[in-house]
Structure 1
Amino acid sequence: MLSYPKVQNKPRVLQSLTGLRVSEFEQLWVSFERAWQDYLEHHHIQIPRARRYGGGRKAQLQDSRDKLLFILVYFRLYPTQEVQGFLFGIGQPQAHDWVHKLTPILNQALGYEQQLPERSPWRLERVLQECVGLELIIDGTERRIPRPKDKDERKQHYSGKKKTFTVKNLLISQRQGKVLYLSDTYEGKKHDKAICDEEDYRFPEGTQLWKDTGFQGYEPEGVKTHQPKKKPRNGELSEADKERNQEISRERVQIEHHIGGIKRYNIVVHPLRTRTVTLPIL
């Protein structure tokens, strides 16, 4: 049965299971423990009970480090709940309950750690003003979903780029830093620029924004944008244009690393089976 004491002294195993080093796990656990105690206070201790909290049969996941390990393993490996329960010595119904119980607690802990990106477009400008430097990168990413049964829904979610059914999000990250903003989730067919126009992002004056050709024509007010130049029809790019495109690509690749870091967690790569789970950004 998996437990934190068994992997605490095996850093490579812990990182393979959770995506975190031991020091990162311990740092996150402090906030997770705080979020867990808040959950207990509001959902168990303060409500009228026939017996005090803690009575009765003991849960299998007693230690909060084991609880954190449980939910991180679920997001990292994304096994079926039957397998997840087997790994931790519980049944599938208990695994189901723990997944839905611990996911919002992990979200809250990541909020305490200030690791969650902003989700509201109208608050984006205020968040960016608090950043050191205003050099940002914007890009989109797609995730597969099960094939919709409805014909019209299939048309909306079919991505010509991925040749499958997807949903799409936009991300805005610092040039040298973390993801600052995650858009709402849209059908895979929706164009990147159309999402920008719909969410109407506002940037502080003097912002520099790196983008790819999927944002052709997107020029926010007061922002200096950097975008690769497309090859003209029946023509060729000049050597200067090719060099400039390479410079922009070297800057933009940083957001690809950020997206790749998030997608270490298979739950944001594989088609989502648990529809009611709100995924944290790790």
Structure 2
Amino acid sequence: MKTNPLVTIKKRQKLFRSLTGITIEKFNELLKQVTPLYEAAEAKRLFKSKKIRKQGGGRQKDLDLPNQLLMLLMYYRIYVSQEFLGLIFGLHNCNVSRQLTYLQPQLAKIFRRPAQRVKLSEEELTEEQLLNIFILDATEQQIRRSKKQQKK
């Protein structure tokens, strides 16, 4: 019987946060946002006009959406190899790549990342634009630290 990595990792909040970069609550919110986008993309994929098999035919995906999202967040956060993710989630690295590639556009729609970066020289940028670039690039999240010094 296969183990469910999401259930295992969700039991340990600190581990979940360190592997994904977000809390379990934020993960659930993100899952609610990505679900309709994923279902719409899946429906579009299933109802292509040039399909040979019936709708829904063929091999089903090995991971459900929450585990796919967890795998993608782990890939972004800790940047491990796809072989290692395959070991954790019980997939071959080709399937890991396929599922990451399929879910990335849906996640990009939520975060509204630009598809292409514009490269400008420093002479073309004003001081205000440099400040805006710096502010937009600040993605660090606050972590609560204890006030007391702990003995080692």
Same fold, judged at TM 0.5 (above): yes
How far has the Cα of 1:184 moved from its partner? 2.5
Which of the numbers 125, 140, 151 marks the counterpart of 1:196?
Answer: 125
Consecutive unaligned residues in structure 2, runs of 5 or more: 142-152
Cα RMSD after superposing both structures: 3.2
1:258 matched to which residue of 2? 138
Cα contact 1:85–1:95 (8 A) shared by 2: yes
Give the corresponding residue for 1:163: none
Name which structure has the greater RCO, CA cutoff 8 Å, separation 6+. 2
CA distance in 2, matches of 1:13, 1:2: 15
Q: 1:47 aligns with which of 32, 46, 49?
A: 49
Q: How much does 1:82 deviate? A: 1.6
Residues 200-215 of structure 1 correspond to what in structure 2 (within 5 A)? Answer: 215=127
**Larger % of strand: which?**
1
The answer to which structure has the higher helix fraction is: 2
Q: Normalising by structure 2, what TM-score?
A: 0.72
Q: Which residue of 1 aligns with 2:117?
A: 184
1:29 aligns with 2:35: no
Mapped to 2, the partners of 1:195 and 1:16 lie a distance apart of 39
Of the candidates 112, 116, 120, which is equivalent to residue 116 of structure 1?
Answer: 112
Q: How many residues align?
A: 137
Determine the C-alpha separation between the residues in 2 that align with 1:50 and 1:65. 29
Alignment of 1:1-282 (within 5 A): 3-61=5-63, 63-108=64-109, 110=110, 115-116=111-112, 119=114, 184-186=117-119, 190-191=121-122, 194-196=123-125, 215=127, 255=135, 258-261=138-141
What secondary structure sits across from 1:186 in the alignment? coil
CA-to-aligned-CA distance 1:181-229 (integer Å, 9 cap, x gap): xx93438xx32xx3436xxxxxxxxxxxxxxxxx3xx6x9xxxxxx9xx
Q: Computing the radius of gyration over CA atoms, which structure comes out larger, 1 or 2?
A: 1
Q: Post-superposition, which runs of at least 4 consecutive aligned residues in structure 1 deviate over 4 A?
A: none
Distance across 2 between alignment mates of 1:41 and 1:29: 18
Question: Would you say the 8 A contact 2:68–2:100 is kept in 1?
Answer: no
